[in-house]
Structure 1
Amino acid sequence: MNLADTESGRLLGALRALLAAKGIAAPEEIAERIALTDAATPAQGAAMVAKAWVDAEFRSLMLADGARAAESLGIPMRGMPPLGVLENTPDLHHLVVCTLCSCYPRAVLGYPPFWFKSTSFRARAVRDPRGVLAEFGLTLPETVTLRVVDSTADYRWMVLPMRPEGTEGWPEDRLASLVREGDMIGVTVPPVG
């Protein structure tokens, strides 16, 4: 993808023109960071999840330092906020929201879905998280603790969903095909294999 053909590229061009008019050169790091974000897709996060499902050492790294785990798979994280990874278990489910704007782990998931940025989702995810999940088709048993986690400009979060039953022995690429963007935010769970 050519950076100039993206919305970010056009905005970067406008920023450079404005700074040039004031005699200030735009740092190349800005262009590099925007280009990396434009290239990211949820498939990168899905690959991380699949690897964590089959590789215990990678899973430990991912839960300890999401950015370092991403970089070990060739996903550039330089200049990005730290990435935390929250593990869903049979007793605990995480829902990621940014209550102030739309802070999202773009380096590994790409641009946030339109609903993630909406005022309604942001407010309701905190006020009525089970109701929001039900709208996405996910009903958790009352015995499952639901934890809403606020993604911020200083620290981004993603979810390591539980591996679906019936996927034992599957290769990473097949497992990754099960993982959807919503699974890594916590509004859905991967389908049974």
Structure 2
Amino acid sequence: MSRGGQKIGRRKFLKGAAVGAAAVSSTAISNAQDAESADHQHVPSDIALRVKALETVLTEKNLLDPSALDEVVDQYENRIGPQNGAKVVAKAWVDSDYKARLLDDGTAAIGELDLLGRQGEHMVVVENTTEVHNLVVCTLCSCYPWPTLGLPPTWYKSSAYRARAVIEPRAVLLEFGLEVSDETEIRVWDSTAEMRYLVLPRRPEGTEDMNEEELADIVTRDSMIGVAVL
């Protein structure tokens, strides 16, 4: 990237973007979080109404099979989502051999559970420890591991998060309610179209007697992105 004939590094560009967004970034991330958690019991938006109208027209003209559409909706509502990533995490917690394979080759290990797919073909898993906390971002757009985490949350796609997570990760995490000590190193991983990341959270204390299924129930999406801990 260049400006006036002078080359600008990616990190320098991101830093400039972060400075420009700083005045409104906290509000932007907060608003994105609020929008995601808002109650959806309201009048459909214009876009939703247009989509429904288009669906009706295409169905009437036999250009769209409603059952095929229902299959896609069911896929993302019930079969693709953070519950899949939680299964990966829980298995790693109870099976040390699987954990070693997961950290060595995330793609192959996740494939063992048949959880690979579009937007998640190539995976790297990074482990949180007492010394290191990992945070995932996509600085260019919103690359995200759909098969293991579902669709990306609104705040993950926001320009504020994408710019600031690289430059000031501690401040960003604090806005999510997570305070990371100065003694803990924060590593930020930039997902791309070629490679997506999944955080392996630390197993909470007091869960020694829980089985794999019970452990999967306590794993959250945000902990696998790195903006929360368990």
Q: TM-score, normalised by structure 1?
A: 0.77
AA at the equivalent of 2:94: V
Give the conservation status (yes or no) of the 8 Å contact 1:40–1:109.
yes
Q: What's the % identity of the aligned pairs?
A: 48
Q: CA deviation at 1:35?
A: 8.4
Give the conservation status (yes or no) of the 8 Å contact 2:123–2:197.
yes
1:58-101 CA-partner distances (Å, limit 9, x unpaired): 10111112222222112233784310000010000000000000
**Large movers: runs of 4+ above 4 Å:** 34-37
Does the alignment pair 1:122 with 2:162?
yes
1:153-176 CA-partner distances (Å, limit 9, x unpaired): 110001001101111121011111
* Number of residue-to-residue matches in the alignment: 163
Does the alignment pair 1:50 with 2:80?
no
Structural RMSD (CA)? 2.4
Which of 124, 136, 142 does residue 84 from structure 1 map onto? 124
Give the conservation status (yes or no) of the 8 Å contact 1:70–1:77.
no
Task: Spell out the pairing of 1:31-70 with structure 2 (5 A cutoff).
Answer: 38=76, 39-70=79-110
Give the conservation status (yes or no) of the 8 Å contact 2:120–2:144.
no
Give the conservation status (yes or no) of the 8 Å contact 1:67–1:83.
yes
AA at the equivalent of 2:182: E
Quick one: structure 1 residues 79 and 143, their matched pair in 2 at CA, closer, same or farther if it must change by over 3 Å? closer
Structure 2 runs not aligned, ≥5 long:
1-47, 59-71
Q: Per the alignment, in what secondary structure is the counterpart of residue 158 of structure 1?
A: strand
Distance in 2 between residues matched to 1:145 and 1:127, nearest whole Å: 14
1:88-146 CA-partner distances (Å, limit 9, x unpaired): 10000000000000000111111011100000111111121101111111101110000
Structure 1 runs not aligned, ≥5 long:
1-6, 18-33
> Which structure has the bigger radius of gyration?
2
Quick one: structure 1 residues 122 and 110, their matched pair in 2 at CA, closer, same or farther if it must change by over 3 Å? same
Give the conservation status (yes or no) of the 8 Å contact 2:125–2:200.
yes
Distance in 1 between residues matched to 2:114 and 2:88, nearest whole Å: 11
Bigger helix share: 2
Q: TM-score, normalised by structure 2?
A: 0.65
1:22-80 CA-partner distances (Å, limit 9, x unpaired): xxxxxxxxxxxx88973411000001001100100110111112222222112233784
Q: Per the alignment, in what secondary structure is the counterpart of residue 188 of structure 1?
A: coil
